[in-house]
A and B are shown apart, each in its own frame.
Chain A
Amino acid sequence: MNNRLYGNLIFELSKEGRRGYSLPKNRFGNYEIPTEMRRSNDAALPECDEPTVVRHYTNLSANNFGVDNGFYPLGSCTMKYNPKINEEMAALPQFQNLHPDQPAATTRGAQAIVELLERSLCALTGLAHFTFKPYAGAHGELTGLMVIDNYHRAQGNMQRKKVVVPDSAHGTNPASAAVCGLEIIEVKSGADGQVDLADLQRIVSTEGANIAAMMMTNPNTLGLFETRIPEIAKLIHDCGALMYYDGANLNPMLGVCRPGDMGFDVMHINLHKTFSTPHGGGGPGSGPVGVREGLQQFFPVVSPYHGNFAVMMRAYAYILTLGRENVRKVGPLATLNANYIKESLRDVYELPIDGLCCHEFVFDGLKNKSTGVTTMDVAKRLLDYGYHAPTIYFPLLFHESLMIEPTENESRETIDGFIDVMRRIAEEALTTPDEVKTAPHKTPIGRVDDVLAAKHPVVTFRQMKEE
């Protein structure tokens, strides 16, 4: 797309007197809004005709890259295909027009979807009850921790305020704990990338009575299955604490393991990851929280209604479309794709931990770092070749983390194309390193100045005009 021609802000396309709407005439008589109630100036919103608005946003969309555009191996985000039928189901007017305070007798169909979805999620996770109030993954984490905090309070264990979190955990884990009023104890990862059992034992022996929960993903953020999970769960349960499963990495477990069977008591699911609802440029998601029997009375009020209901409808349509026959292939195929990429690139990218991975894995940058080409440069160069970049500089265990997650929806051809490009970039890093260090070259805009944006924040059109 042509950024110069179509890169305006909608405010810059505004002209006084233009209209992009039509409203019915007022047939109610003359009801004037009293002046003392009114704002002194009109909100300076744009004034545009309908064709201008449509062209503007259509062109903006052309400056974006989504799963429907191409391979999106963003680690930990599970960028799988978002089926079109789900969108149509979520937009059915019989559901879309329901006011959330309508009496129960008038919303039986909507309630049925919630009940059926809950039953399916219970079957898939091995847990007994779900609340759908959480709006996103981090909101689910917070909700799950509130369940745990409520449980300990009810037992009179007011001192249980510490949450054990692996050092490889996603940033939302400690942040959610803090919002819940809990403190973090970090447990180290061992040389094999898994939780260091000796370190955990040390923590449990000194802090056992104060621990509320241990919070983990399994597989962990390195894409490695925590094989000592039965021992970990036993250690935590024996000290009176609960096990929390961060569902961020649930996808490779479909058809393989259920969190309830692994010993987890509370978990959240990112419906926008594992159950294919679109990520929408950063939401809306949905983060239902599941619990073992006996914990459901501790569900907190984290939102007023039924959660992001239209997102839940999409997830249920996806579960029905897959059915029990296909849902069990999701994990193995995602895992196969990841291992295939890992084995095809490990001679040119640094694989810090050997062995089978699950749905994703982490490289610690290029194997040959002699020309100073960084993970950031590799990521930016990938954009030139038409791929979204992997997650970079996370997890924090390595300096040059490059976290790759293909999903079960990617074909061998797509993946082979990606592998070829990754190898070519590794070669360019040695032969034409400046080309890589200054990438991207073919995108609508070049590398952006983050420092300028943060040092001197301009975050509205009004501020921009005042510049």
Chain B
Amino acid sequence: MYKYFPHTEDDLKAMLEKAGVESLDGLYAQIPESIRFRGEYDIPSEMSEMEVRQLFETLGTQNRQLTCFAGYGVYDHYTPAVIPNLLARSEFLTSYTPYQAEISQGTLHYIFEYQSMMTELTGMDISNASMYDGTTACAEAMMMAVAAGKKANRVLVSDSLNKKTFEVLQNYALHQGITLETIPLKDGATDLSALRTLLSTLEGVAGVIVQQPNVFGIVEDYDGFAEACHEKKALFIMDSVAADLAVLKTPGEWGADIAVGDGQSLGIPMQWGGPYVGYMCCTEKLIRKMPGRIVGMTQDNRGQRAFVLTLQAREQHIRRQKATSNICSNQSLMALWVTVYLSLMGKQGLKEAAELSYAGAHYLCDQLLQTGRFKLDFDKPFFNEFYVSYDGDADMLSQRFIDAGFMGGVRFGEGFLFAVTEKRTKEEIDNLVKIAAL
């Protein structure tokens, strides 16, 4: 018949007979004829595996392969060969949500490890089993704050939050009836005194959202923010690039109640926007407000340690419209990706990769400033990403970068947001600077 369908003519005959119908069409006898689809689907004709491969490879040549100096939330970190190799194991790849714990310990076990690693990285107590991506994790944190805040439905968002994250927040807020207010910046960083003023003048603030490093790559000083929030019973939410937390002061240390962000920086390929994985961690106090799956430790009836989906009374399949979120499938396999990455890189490697990225970014910045054409707009410390304005035609320079095979940062305002990871070599940076200096 066809390579994915095992039914022979004999099988069909015997099975139809058991089902009590004469033909495959007869299986749908109950459906009104007026809504049956009797036409031909307007899709391509069956292709052999070789033809499918050819088509994808041909389309692939229509993409430009660029050496990446762009970030803006998505970073070109290196993926160790072990990861795709282990992830291809069918037992992980072709299983589903681990409802049957007895034959899903593999999945449950790695999710427990993932939760443990993410709490270590963020300095928080609790992690869930993953969210879709960083932007939706941030939206879920916003809704979690509003749900925890009883009647409060106002959320303050720093103007230094990534604009793409903000757009997603705005959309969720519109439908949830949440009012968003922007906290202004001072020299590229969130203004604490402006936040204090907003907190004391506005009623019903449920949460405050900031980003670290912020949209300009700046590492902000969040001293006093958590206290200011807690004084007014608002939750302090911090959105961070996961890999940077290897060295940066953690959301836990800044006093955050909820830590969210994207885990893509932990070795997941950029793949034009997804799949990635969102992480969400919180304090122990908030565990029952947390959306999504959580895996916990328990015992089996033979006295062995075992892992299982737990605290399910928060979730949609039990609580329906009263659930903490509608999330069902998450990004489990991408959580495994991150878990294997963190197992390989470990305590030292993650730090070293972050230090290398930091060094490369600062080297690039120094070289660009030396050309005399670029200026750092803010006198603030940055990590592996920085914003510089350019004294010429930035769009034209952007095109020159592409012609030379570079994704030369993300363009906005008068300049560029450049990011450097451990993958970028000195030669690549020097070549980029040569073009920038022309």
Contact = CB atoms under 8 A, between A and B. Distances in A.
B327 A138 contact: yes
Contacts of B14: 412
A408 B4 contact: yes
Interface string A1-15: 001000101110010
Interface string A260-300: 01110000000010000011111111000000000000001
A321 B274 contact: no
A304 to B, nearest CB: 4
B194 interface: no
Contacts of A43: 117, 120-121, 245-246, 347, 350
13 contacts: A3-B304, A39-B123, A42-B351, A99-B76, A110-B63, A124-B43, A138-B328, A227-B32, A284-B275, A335-B28, A443-B102, A448-B301, A448-B306
The 7 tightest CB contacts between A and B, nearest first, are A305-B273, A323-B46, A94-B60, A280-B333, A64-B106, A66-B94, A68-B90
B177 interface: yes
A445 B300 contact: yes
Contact of B37 (A112, A257, A410): A257
A440 interface: yes
A174 interface: yes
A64 B107 contact: yes
A438 to B, nearest CB: 7
Interface string A78-110: 010111010111011111111111110111111
A238 interface: no
Interface in A307-337: 307-311, 313, 317, 319-329, 332-333, 335-337
A9 B49 CA distance: 40
Nearest to A66: B94
A96 B343 contact: no
B49 A310 contact: no
A121 to B, nearest CB: 9
Nearest to B49: A85
Contacts of B359: 26, 28-29, 31
Given A57-B86, A95-B60, A112-B59, A65 B34 contact: no
A458 B311 CA distance: 11
Given A39-B247, A106-B63, A257-B31, A123 B95 contact: no
Choose among A38, A225, A279 the residue with the greatest number of B CB atoms under 10 Å from its CB.
A279
B331 A284 contact: yes
A448 B102 contact: yes
Given A101-B70, A452-B298, A304 B165 contact: yes
A256 B23 CA distance: 14
A69 B100 CA distance: 15
A9 B351 CA distance: 22
Contacts of B271: 95-96, 98, 309-310
A409 B4 contact: yes
Contact of A171 (B55, B274, B316): B316
A21 B86 contact: no
A11 B116 contact: yes
Interface in B343-365: 343-353, 355-356, 358-360, 362-363
B237 interface: no
A297 B111 CA distance: 39
A246 to B, nearest CB: 12
B248 A39 contact: yes
A191 interface: no
A98 B344 contact: no
A48 B43 contact: no
Contacts of A335: 24, 27-28
Nearest to A227: B30
A312 B370 CA distance: 44
Contacts of A137: 328-329
B126 A320 contact: no
A423 interface: no
Contacts of B60: 92-95, 109
A420 to B, nearest CB: 14
Contacts of B250: 39
A380 B94 CA distance: 20
Nearest to B275: A284
Interface in A30-84: 31, 33-34, 37-40, 42-48, 50, 53-54, 56-58, 60-69, 72, 74, 77, 79, 81-83
Contacts of A47: 346-348
Contacts of B426: 27-28
B316 A138 contact: yes
Interface stretch (A141-149, A196-204, A365-373, A426-434): A141-149
A11 B343 CA distance: 9
Contacts of B129: 282
B150 interface: no
A385 to B, nearest CB: 11
A243 to B, nearest CB: 13
B372 interface: no
A390 to B, nearest CB: 10
A363 interface: no
A438 B293 CA distance: 27
Interface in B41-72: 41-47, 49, 51-53, 55-66, 68, 70, 72
B29 A284 contact: no
Contacts of A180: 175-176
B89 interface: yes
Nearest to B347: A45
A417 interface: no
Contact of B167 (A304, A336, A447): A304
Interface string A110-134: 1011000001100110100000000
